[in-house]
Each structure stands twice: as C-alpha cells, then as structure tokens.
Amino acid sequence: MLNNIVSINSAPLPTTFDVEYLVIAGAGGGGARRSAGGGGGGYKTSTLSGINISTNYTVTVGAGGAGSSYASDVYTLGASGNNSVFSTITSTGGGLGGSLGTGLRNGSNGGSGGGACFDGSIGSASPSGQGNNGGLGASGSNPNNGGGGGGGAGAAGGNNPANGNGGTGGAGSSSSITGTSVIRAWGGVGGGFTNMGTAASGSQGNGAGASGTANSGGGGNGRVEEAGAGGSGGSGIVVLKYPDTKTITIGAGLTGTTASPSGGFKVSTITAGTGNVSFA
C-alpha cells in the first residue's frame, strides 16, 4: 500500500521589516540683547515600514544654530538649526530667536519657531506637525521690551510678560524609544530688560545665553540687557529601534552606538555626522 505524501507549504519569510525612529533636528540659536529664545529642533517619531537588508539609508544629525551676539552697538546674526534625516524622514531645524537690533526682531520659522523680540513677528512652526510657534516680544509701549520664548515640540513659546522678564521656553516632548523617558526639543528662554523667563521642563535652565544641550534639539536662550551672545541651539539626534535579529552597520561619517538587545529589539543612537546605515 502506498503511503500518502502530504506537502506542507510554509509561509514565506518576510523580506522587509519595520524600524521605529526618533528624528530630532538641530535647534535655533537665541537672540542678543533683551532677546528671544531659539526654537527647538523639529521632532518626528513613528515607524518606517519596508526596510530592506543590504540597502543604504541616509542619516544626518543636524547641528544647532549659533546665537546672535551684541557688542559695541554692533549685532552679529546667529542661525537657525540644521535638518536631521533618516531615509525619507526629515525633521526641520529650529528657528533663530529675534534680537533687539533693527531688522533682527522677528523670530525665524523652523521645526519650532524662534521667539520674537520687541515689536517683532514670531517664528512659526513650518512645516507644521514638528513643533510649535515662538512667543511674542513686548510691544512699543512697554519699557521692559524683552523677547518671547522659543517654541518647543510640546508647546508654544511664552509671550513676553511685560514685567522685566523674558518669555517662557516652550516645553519639549518625551520619548522612551531608548527604554528611558527623555525630554528633548524644548524652546529657548527669552530675555527681558532685567531677568530671563522660565525654563521649560528638562531644558538647560534659564541662564542668560545658555546653549542647548548636545543631542537634545533644545533651543538656545536669549539674553537680558547686556552685551554678549545668545545661546547656541542643541544638536539633534537620530534613534532607531529594530528587531534584534538584524544587525546595523553605521557607516563612515556617522558617530553612533548600539545598545545590547532587550525585549526583542536593538536600539542604535546616532549623535553626529552624515552618512549611511544598512542592515543585515
């Protein structure tokens, strides 16, 4: 009697996989002299599907922008932050905070907008969805004409409160992609005639001209009525979480580390540079 032969067709192995990402751009610099805070770097986090092995994916970690400066009645303009990238995902650099000098009072647009200085216009979160607008500066009728706070990923920058203080820095947003909750991409604090505003939770504090922490995407603080420079924006960061069956290669030009596998995943944190990553 012939034995029946049963053919069992197993499901094909998947050829692609998902990568969870956190991509934060560099933040904007703070303004100079009774000035506004810089906007936090653009903040994007989600999952990118269809990742293939043996394929190069571009990664860029955006640098923070320099703060504007003031000395001997001369202003030197700072800069907005730089974009961060993972594959098709781009986060936009935070906007520069406004300064008291004529023509420098508007906050710049960015992932989160820079705050406005005296009688200036706020920087908007543009493109939308990555952060919030900066805060307004004081009006022409206010002798304590200071700057607003920079926008953050979690909240808009505070308006100048017209009491000699600067505007509050916009709150950042927290992520637990690394296994620990960390707040990033806050707005810089605005400076008033006499005092700084209130710092956002998790930020570098409310010191005049304080710079955003490296890899935080936190905006640079403005200054009060004094010479000196606003703070530089904090650099961005790219964090990738993927199945622990995969191995990442972090290419030349990038600085990064990969944590030990946990819960079925690996997490790679890239802190500087531009280049490619690939998976095997």
Decide if 123 is inside a domain: yes
Decide if 182 is inside a domain: yes
Decide if 218 is inside a domain: yes
Report the alpha-carbon distance of residue 66 to residue 258 in Å, rounded. Answer: 30
Give me the pLDDT at residue 12, please.
Answer: 56
Domain count, the chain: 1
Cα R_g (the chain), whole angstroms: 22
Give me the pLDDT at residue 11, please.
Answer: 55
Give me the pLDDT at residue 2, please.
Answer: 41
Question: pTM here?
Answer: 0.93
What are the backbone angles phi and psi of residue 229, rounded to the nearest 5°?
-110, 150
Over its length of 280 residues, how does the chain's per-residue pLDDT go in tens digits?
344 444 445 555 568 999 999 999 999 999 999 999 999 999 999 999 999 999 999 999 999 999 999 999 999 999 999 999 999 999 999 999 999 999 999 999 999 999 999 999 999 999 999 999 999 998 877 766 789 999 999 999 999 887 778 999 999 999 999 999 999 999 999 999 889 999 987 788 888 899 999 999 999 999 999 999 999 999 999 999 999 999 999 999 999 999 999 999 999 999 999 999 999 9
Segments forming the whole domain that contains residue 110:
18-259
Decide if 53 is inside a domain: yes
* Pairing relationship of beta strands 16-24 and 254-258 according to DSSP bridges: unpaired
Decide if 6 is inside a domain: no
Decide if 230 is inside a domain: yes
Q: Which of 190, 227, 229, 188 is nearest to 81 (CA)?
A: 188
Is the peptide bond between 127 and the residue preceding it cis, with omega within 30 degrees of 0?
yes
Decide if 238 is inside a domain: yes
Decide if 2 is inside a domain: no
